[in-house]
């Protein structure tokens, strides 16, 4: 982005009676507080804050980096996680879980030692996002190919079932009362299913939103915030399926969070911005700003204690030539430049 702040036009297709507007230019709601050098090689996906342990877990190539949020230093690495995507922790059980998309497994690890526990757990194809649900004491591993979710006992890691969700699943959320939500990327839907029976109860279409990835959730007002790849954020009533608003966001989105303390929805856009949208009321939303981050900073995590936002990126080198095996190559990543960006108000 050339400008630090720009006002974007409203997306069309808002539900009748719903108001959404763009705020006038003002002071940016978030600014860069710290850059945490991590280094190493490889790409990245999800990052996860553990507020109880004051740690940040980063997917990075074939391993997970662990950052102490008090010192902002890397304090450990969990290796042998090929194609790592998601990480979540179960503090009460001293367990963590990691999805490995390259070999269709999940690694369970000890939060204190960071050592793997037992053999990798087989999953459905292309395990990607995952979620610990305290209500059911289960960990849900979501496949981004084929619509399956492998369900684990959060304490033991034992497989307790498979949810058939009917599409390629992206980011999930929970209401803490037995209802789980997830974006269905290939069908442009957001669904609700039961954390215990695993039955899908509701399917909500997201059109004009397409290919949803990041998902934020406001349990107080039953609002789902689906960040879509065609640069739209779709707000849905989780109870009725009514589409409340459609708002413009930046390009290359992959993550979204909702902070109840600020009533802000923030999407992380790989083009190099956070789009910040304020929930003025459950039916009124304002695009506040597009905050500069960095190219490739596509995922996001919120620390619910400090209300800081985290994203990660690295420097890019040349793009390799296209081949028959890789017709759309990505730019190369400069070794040693992987880093975390921490933002606050």
Map out the domains of the chain as residue ranges: 7-21+28-42+211-299+314-319+336-345, 43-205
Question: How far is C-alpha 309 from the geometric centre of its chain's CA atoms?
Answer: 12
Say whether 43-205 and 7-21+28-42+211-299+314-319+336-345 share the same fold: yes
Domain 7-21+28-42+211-299+314-319+336-345, CATH among 3.90.650.10, 3.40.50.2300, 2.130.10.10, 2.60.40.1220: 2.130.10.10
Rounded to an integer, what distance in angstroms lies between the CA atom of residue 85 and that of residue 72?
A: 22
Residue (of 140, 120, 214) closest to 180 by Cα position: 140
Confirm if 253 and 265 have CB atoms less than 8 A apart: no
Classify domain 43-205 by CATH number: 2.130.10.10
Taking CA atoms, 14 is separated from 210, 224, 236, 256, 319, in Å, by: 15, 15, 11, 20, 39
Give the count of beta carbons closer than 10 Å to the beta carbon of residue 76.
Answer: 14
Q: Give the pLDDT of the chain (345 residues) as one tens digit per residue.
A: 333 333 333 333 333 334 444 444 458 999 999 999 999 999 999 999 999 999 999 999 999 999 999 999 999 999 999 999 999 999 999 999 999 999 999 999 999 999 999 999 999 999 999 999 999 999 999 998 888 899 999 999 999 999 999 999 999 999 999 999 999 999 999 999 999 999 999 999 999 999 999 999 999 999 999 999 999 999 999 999 999 999 999 999 999 999 999 999 999 999 999 999 999 999 999 999 999 999 999 999 999 999 999 999 999 999 888 888 888 888 889 999 999 999 999
Tokens of 243: 């589409």
**Buried (b) or exposed (e) across 259-294, using 16+ Cβ within 10 A?**
beeebbbbbbbbbbbbbbbbbeebbebbbbbbbbbb
Length of the chain: 345
Residue (of 95, 102, 143, 89) closest to 116 by Cα position: 95
CA atoms within 13 A on the CB side of 253: 34
């Amino acid at each position: 982005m050339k400008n630090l702040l720009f006002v974007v036009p409203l997306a069309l297709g808002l539900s009748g009676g719903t108001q959404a507007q763009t705020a006038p230019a003002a002071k940016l709601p978030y600014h860069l507080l710290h850059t945490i050098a991590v280094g190493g090689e490889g790409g990245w996906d999800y990052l996860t804050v553990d507020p109880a342990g004051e740690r940040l877990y980063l997917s990075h190539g074939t391993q997970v980096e662990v950052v102490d949020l008090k010192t902002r230093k890397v304090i450990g690495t969990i290796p042998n996680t090929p194609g790592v995507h998601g990480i979540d922790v179960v503090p009460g059980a001293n367990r963590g879980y990691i999805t490995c998309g390259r070999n269709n497994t999940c690694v369970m690890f000890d939060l204190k030692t960071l050592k793997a526990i037992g053999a990798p757990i087989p999953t459905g194809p292309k395990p990607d996002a995952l979620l610990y649900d305290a209500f059911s004491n289960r960990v849900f591993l979501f496949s981004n190919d084929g619509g399956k979710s492998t369900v684990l006992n959060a304490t033991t890691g034992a497989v307790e079932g498979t949810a058939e969700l009917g599409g390629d699943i992206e980011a999930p959320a929970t209401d803490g009362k037995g209802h789980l939500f997830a974006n269905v990327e290939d069908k442009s839907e957001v669904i609700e299913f039961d954390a215990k029976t695993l039955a899908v109860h509701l399917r909500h279409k997201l059109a004009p939103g397409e290919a949803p990835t990041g998902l934020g959730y406001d349990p107080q007002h039953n609002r789902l915030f689906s960040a879509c790849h065609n640069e739209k954020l779709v707000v849905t009533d989780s109870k009725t399926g009514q589409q409340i608003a459609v708002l413009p966001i930046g390009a290359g989105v992959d993550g979204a969070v909702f902070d109840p303390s600020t009533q802000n929805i923030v999407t992380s856009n790989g083009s190099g911005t956070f789009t910040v949208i304020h929930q003025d009321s459950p039916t009124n939303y304002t695009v506040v700003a597009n905050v500069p981050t960095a190219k490739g900073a596509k995922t996001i995590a919120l620390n619910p204690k400090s209300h800081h936002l985290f994203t990660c990126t690295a420097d890019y080198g040349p793009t390799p030539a296209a081949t028959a095996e890789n017709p759309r190559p990505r730019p190369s990543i400069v070794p040693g430049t992987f880093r975390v960006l921490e933002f606050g108000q």
